[in-house]
Amino acid sequence: MNAFDMISEPILFIQELREYSSKVHQSAELIQSLTDALLAEDYAKRQALHEQMSGTWHDVNQSKLSLYSQIKGMYFHVAGGDAFNPYMACQDRVADSLQGLANLLVLRKTPIPAELRDDFRALVAAVVNISRRTMNLAEAAFSEAETVCADTQAQSVRDAIQGTVEDKGQAREREMEFTRHLYSLEKQLDPAALMFLDKCSTMLHEVADNTEHAADYLRLMIR
């Protein structure tokens, strides 16, 4: 028995949880697009993407309120545990960090130095990839919960779990590479640019960390 087995109206709840998770991941994909616009120094596109991000963040918050009202008072079998609250708490932090990063990317017009562009692009791509893998795991878990434990669904869950495990650490390596390169140029960079890039790196670290924790809680739910 897992956490989904203890829900009184599982299909409706799962549909809402899928939509919520999808919106959080959509925010991560928007950060990838914002990064591309930042590197292209396309300020108009950054503005448009920021507006889209703000709308997505609003949708996340609306979904969150509905889901928490359903979760309140639920009790789950020990095998599944009360996994929904911590899963959503991690996703909430991901959404907030992404919104904060989007604000930073649109408010600051600081160009990324040419020497750091490849490392910055690789860092963002690694973080977004963690989000994609976690969303794949969520889709597999939610699909399995909607069916009668079909073998094909169970296999897709196992494959998705393996994918999220393999991704752990990749974003950390990219973060270290970017930070090491950033501070090797410390004397050459404007202090404001240095602070801007360091803040971006910190916020991307928060996104990766909480996305990985969300994947951990998903694995707990479906055991």
pLDDT score of 149: 46
Grade residue 163 by pLDDT with cuts at 50, 70 and 90: low
Q: Where are the beta strands (DSSP E) in 56-167?
A: none
Q: Kindly report, residue by residue over 105-127, the tens digit of the pLDDT.
A: 999 888 899 999 999 999 999 99
Q: Kindly report, residue by residue over 36-67, the tens digit of the pLDDT.
A: 999 999 999 999 999 999 999 999 999 999 88
The C-alpha torsion from 48 through 50 and 52 to 53, rounded to 10°, is: 170
Q: Where are the domains of the chain?
A: 7-221
pLDDT for residue 150 is more than 50: no
For the ranges 98-102, 125-129, 165-169, 191-195, which has the lowest average pLDDT?
A: 165-169
Is residue 37 helix, strand or coil? Answer: helix
pLDDT for residue 211 is more than 70: yes
Query: What is the share, in percent, of the chain residues with pLDDT greater than 70?
Result: 79
Residues in Cβ contact with 39 at an 8 Å cutoff, skipping those fewer than 6 apart: 112, 117, 120, 121
> What CATH number labels 7-221?
1.20.58.220
More confident residue, 216 or 163: 216
Between CA 28 and CA 118 the distance in angstroms is: 19
Both tokens of residue 109? 């017009």
pLDDT score of 166: 58
